[in-house]
């Protein structure tokens, strides 16, 4: 049996799991952690020399998790504060997706939902409805501003007297 390394202390991990249609899963060198990595693109994107050594790969995963967590936390902090909160959160998810299958699946689901929403927004009926609702909203806002100005007038901030 060839483990891909001549160094003592390393153990080869094999998987007896079978994929669809009874075919064996194409598990990467990391074993069960990377099941299905060949067929559908899921699994670790770490360099081969990192995946070949279990402790180094575990350290790599911890590092990726910590960096991704820091980016996601920064994004969550930016949600109520000025900044691109959602973009940063999805950036952190992308960092996690380089190493973790669950994050890859979440990103795929998110991309699918965003694509569906974009296609719905481009539907002519939906676009007409959105334009109509926006026009009605702008008319309502203009009427309310007109009523306010007719009642109270326009006073520039530098002309406000101390009261």
What's the confidence (pLDDT) of residue 119? 86
What's the confidence (pLDDT) of residue 163? 52
Confidence check: pLDDT of 18 > 50: no
pLDDT digits (tens, 9 = 90+) for 44-62: 777 777 777 788 888 888 8
- Confidence tier at 42 by pLDDT (50, 70, 90): confident
Across 2-16, 33-47, 94-108, which has the greatest mean pLDDT? 94-108
Confidence check: pLDDT of 91 > 70: yes
Q: Which two tokens stand for residue 144?
A: 């309310």
The pLDDT mean for the chain works out to: 76
What's the confidence (pLDDT) of residue 125? 86
For residue 24, the cross-strand partners are: 18
Higher pLDDT, 39 or 110: 110
CA 30 remoteness from chain centre: 24
For 39, residues 6+ apart whose C-beta sits below 8 A from its C-beta are: 19, 25, 26
Q: What is the arithmetic mean of pLDDT over 16-30?
A: 44
Helix locations, the chain, DSSP H: 37-40, 48-51, 54-78, 85-97, 101-121, 124-152
Place of tokens 């799991």: 17
What's the confidence (pLDDT) of residue 142? 96
Compute the radius of gyration of the chain from its Cα atoms.
Answer: 27
What's the confidence (pLDDT) of residue 40? 67
Confidence check: pLDDT of 3 > 80: no
- Confidence tier at 121 by pLDDT (50, 70, 90): confident
Alpha-carbon distances, residue 103 vs 14, 22, 37, 159 (angstroms): 24, 27, 14, 56
């Amino acid at each position: 049996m060839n483990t891909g390394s001549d160094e003592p202390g390393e153990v080869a991990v094999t998987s007896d799991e079978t994929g669809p249609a009874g075919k064996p899963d194409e598990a990467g060198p990391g074993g069960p952690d990377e099941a299905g990595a060949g067929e559908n693109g899921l699994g670790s994107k770490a360099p081969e020399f990192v995946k070949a050594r279990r402790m180094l790969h575990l350290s790599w995963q911890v590092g990726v998790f910590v960096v991704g967590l820091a980016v996601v936390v920064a994004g969550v902090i930016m949600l109520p504060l000025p900044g691109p909160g959602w973009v940063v959160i999805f950036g952190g998810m992308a960092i996690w997706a380089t190493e973790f299958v669950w994050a890859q699946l979440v990103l795929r689901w998110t991309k699918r939902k965003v694509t569906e929403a974009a296609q719905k927004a481009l539907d002519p009926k939906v676009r007409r409805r959105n334009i109509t609702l926006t026009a009605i909203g702008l008319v309502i806002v203009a009427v309310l501003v007109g009523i306010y100005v007719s009642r109270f007038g326009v006073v520039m901030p530098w002309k406000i007297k101390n009261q």
